[in-house]
A and B are shown apart, each in its own frame.
Chain A
């Protein structure tokens, strides 16, 4: 089983719909992240959380919200999806004790907004 699991893996939805992407991890890491990947733009940080009570905006948080339900769970919501939110979304975790710049990524959730 994967250490970082994302659901759904693929989702097609319509403009204006509410979408939630979920992430769970079994690595025991305190830090969790949501990234968005678009062709030619690399990975951009949406939100990050250092523990259950800590939520921080990243580079591109507009139009997104997150919830850290437990240490192991971090969900990303699009309240009203729009076509330019079509992208590949990655959840990642890291261990605060390891200052190595190493993130552990899930397999990604491909979202298409029509």
Chain B
């Protein structure tokens, strides 16, 4: 089975940097994805790590350590519009995704 843990809530100040951690236990692992979901909206894809290391996409970066079964999403230069829920998800060999319970990020002025 799959098990993912991430903090339920994080609050950060506009313009700051925030890191959202994700630890996982899985029977088959092919990669870690991150999704953003605004209230009432659909999840949207942010990033994917199949190998150890850091992937950068604009203000967002994602890190993976397969040996530690750990990853994080780093959001820089926070903006009010970044207030949303963020989900990590592990990809298994069948290309299915199993999601964590989500971290609600609140950005304050």
Q: Interface-forming stretch among B12-20, B75-83, B92-100?
A: B92-100
Chain A residues in 8 Å Cβ range of B41: 107-108
Whole-angstrom distance between the alpha carbons of A104 and B35 in the complex? 11
Whole-angstrom distance between the alpha carbons of A11 and B93 in the complex? 35
Whole-angstrom distance between the alpha carbons of A42 and B22 in the complex? 13
Whole-angstrom distance between the alpha carbons of A59 and B91 in the complex? 14
Residue of chain A at shortest CB distance from B1: A59
How many residues of chain A are within 8 Å of chain B by beta carbon? 26
Tier of interface size on chain B: 20 to 34
The answer to whether B45 and A107 have CB atoms under 8 Å apart is no
Residue B30, interface by CB 8 Å: yes
Chain A residues in 8 Å Cβ range of B89: 43, 101
Of residues 36 through 65 on chain B, the ones whose CB sits less than 8 Å from some CB of chain A are 41-45, 48, 50
The answer to whether A44 and B50 have CB atoms under 8 Å apart is no
Contact partner of B99 (CB less than 8 A), chosen from A43, A94, A107, is A43
Residue A74, interface by CB 8 Å: no
Of residues 81 through 114 on chain A, the ones whose CB sits less than 8 Å from some CB of chain B are 90, 94, 96, 99-108
The answer to whether B87 and A42 have CB atoms under 8 Å apart is yes
Whole-angstrom distance between the alpha carbons of A101 and B41 in the complex? 19
- Tell me the A residues contacting B by CB distance below 8 Å: 31, 33, 35, 40-45, 48, 56, 58-59, 90, 94, 96, 99-108
- Tell me the B residues contacting A by CB distance below 8 Å: 8, 30-33, 35, 41-45, 48, 50, 87, 89, 91, 94-102
Name the 4 nearest CB pairs between A and B, nearest first.
A101-B33, A105-B42, A42-B101, A101-B91
